[in-house]
A and B are shown apart, each in its own frame.
Chain A
């Protein structure tokens, strides 16, 4: 029990995030990258951008899911260790946005993988993305992580 709470404490103090674009227009993507840079600096929450899904706790997804990307998104999600969280950033990732109904588009991210936090906006401001991630951390703090999926 003690060990589990230690792990939980560590995880919440330093969540590692992975960014994946499954069909975005780059607007949300540059805002996600802007989070890491001096003005927004999410490292003050211990957040670190991680290139490999196998080391990541939180998946930040941007954009609609295109047919070609759906499988990749699913595979990346499956490669992440438990417990894992998904933040859908932007109108497209939330619901398909302006591209809803296009022939090569499946829709929002929740058509393929479960989503924990939706951050709407086209694109959302970096403050909104930070708010989304902090909300996720707070709710994870309250929930029993072991029960999570």
Chain B
């Protein structure tokens, strides 16, 4: 336990005293505090008052048979403090914490959908991830849920968003964006209420890509789950695999060989480069600058080639596995990779110049979609969105994994909080990633690239965090001592960031909606799982 965690625990026991039932530290630096449901809000209030930049990272539900356990993972001082409590299954209900921290909004709605826990005092009680036609009393992540014959009723649009009332009797026009929309590569629906050209309200409806992966993970072995979680998101697939494997390795108490840690770092950074380039190109498309899109995607192809040389696959890498990586990097590939990266770096300085000087780009992105630092903290956003608003947050620095504790790099932050700042963060991060890969290739340790691990994982629980291209990715895995996990919880970066879209779109121009939206780099296959 580090000194920060000790300090927070001292404070908690000071304020709550005997109300704390148990304190566990199953992993180094991972603290679980068990309290009664009635004390939960007090405990969380202590944490949020102690540090004004504390935020909620995730809310995990676990079916314990007679009761449902709720875990509130609070991110504070770069670490995670988990407050856990139980509610009875028959009458599952707890007070909402959205008034303490607005960023908990979607986390609570998700638990309500999947576990049937009612959050008293939550501003929105509508469906979030499940389809509107889903039976009201069937909660898929409960162990006793019988999902045999769900009526395949088609979507009932009338229920989903028609009940959004216009405010204060003004006539607002409803503009529906999605599920099929040119600015959205993925299907999600955003209902905008507009007054003339100004967006007044935004109601997001996600869940169009909900594939029930958390439930499916419980029916597959740990090894099969790696391939499943990679397919949560095809863009940041290596991050998902890394985070899942890291978490399972923590339960098993395995340490990964140094060469594997470095190779993991290489693929994770390649993921980041190609994801950021994809987004910067897409941003060009949305602001009507198609040349930028074509250039960016042209320059992105060599990165895909490197991924293919390293892993054998272009997109879904299937490279990281429990205990290391699945194949070694051939020595003769290293100069080829470095040559491509040098090329890319030159091109990046051209793009940097472009973003700094091009009037078209600036007009469409400067002072558009501003998210203040305060809002960023309140809404608990992560990744480049947080760093674009001046929040210092990067899991690679806060809680180093893979080889990030040995590799020097800089965290990029901008204070403007507008679309431009968010794009610039990504542009600068590509440069940092290139440096990280070069350093990792120069200092690649020799030795084995994986250790063999048993198929059966001992009983236990752990969570892991990875800085995916879009921000902090969070996994919680609970094992019951078999080859199948008891529970796999995934909280993806876009799920944390999507609330901020409502904030930045409201009050802005309709024409700016796609551009400011894309600057958040939303990934809905991640969000919905």
Contacts and interface: CB of A to CB of B under 8 A. Distances in A.
Interface of A: 19-31, 33-34, 37-39, 51, 53, 63-64, 66-72, 74, 76, 97-99, 101-106, 122-123, 125
Contacts of B140: 103-104
A98 B228 contact: yes
A103 B147 contact: yes
Contacts of B207: 68
Q: Select the residue from A31, A67, A69, A102 with max chain B CB neighbours within 10 A.
A: A67
8 contacts: A19-B185, A25-B232, A26-B525, A67-B133, A67-B152, A68-B132, A68-B155, A101-B216
B180 A105 contact: no
B131 A68 contact: yes
B179 interface: yes
A27 B187 contact: no
Given A27-B231, A63-B209, A69-B208, 18 more contacts: A21-B187, A24-B209, A25-B233, A27-B315, A27-B316, A28-B234, A29-B186, A29-B234, A31-B315, A34-B304, A39-B298, A53-B180, A66-B209, A67-B134, A70-B155, A72-B179, A102-B213, A125-B314
A105 B150 CA distance: 11
Contacts of B208: 23, 66, 68-69, 72
A27 B209 CA distance: 13
Interface string B216-237: 1000000000011001111101
Interface of B: 130-134, 140, 147, 150, 152, 154-155, 179-182, 185-187, 207-213, 215-216, 227-228, 231-235, 237, 278, 281, 293-294, 297-298, 301, 304, 314-316, 523, 525
Contacts of A72: 155, 179-180, 187, 208
B209 A70 contact: no
B235 A21 contact: no
A37 B131 CA distance: 35
Contact of B237 (A27, A28, A39, A106): A27
Nearest to A39: B301
A106 B297 CA distance: 33
Interface centre among B133, B152, B216, B278 (most CB of A within 10 A): B216
Main secondary structure, interface of A, reads: mixed
A21 B133 contact: no
B309 to A, nearest CB: 15
B179 A33 contact: no
Contacts of A29: 185-186, 234
B525 A24 contact: yes
B488 to A, nearest CB: 13
B131 A67 contact: yes
A30 B180 contact: no
A71 B152 CA distance: 10
B150 A20 contact: no
Contacts of A64: 211
Contacts of B232: 25
Contact of A21 (B131, B186, B213, B315): B186
Nearest to A28: B234
A23, A30, A104, A106: residue with the most chain B Cβ atoms closer than 10 Å: A104
B234 A69 contact: no
Sort A-B residue pairs by CB-CB distance and give the 9 closest, nearest first: A27-B234, A51-B182, A37-B297, A71-B154, A68-B131, A102-B212, A26-B234, A38-B298, A71-B155
B297 A102 contact: no
B77 to A, nearest CB: 33
B154 A38 contact: no
Nearest to A32: B185
A75 to B, nearest CB: 9
A74 B180 CA distance: 12
A23 B152 contact: no
A104 B529 CA distance: 11
A35 B180 CA distance: 20
A102 B215 CA distance: 8
A1 to B, nearest CB: 36
A50 B193 CA distance: 26
A98 B212 CA distance: 12
A33 B294 CA distance: 10
Contacts of B147: 103
B187 A22 contact: yes
A116 to B, nearest CB: 20
Contacts of A28: 234
A99 B211 contact: yes
A68 B132 CA distance: 8
Contacts of A123: 234, 314-316
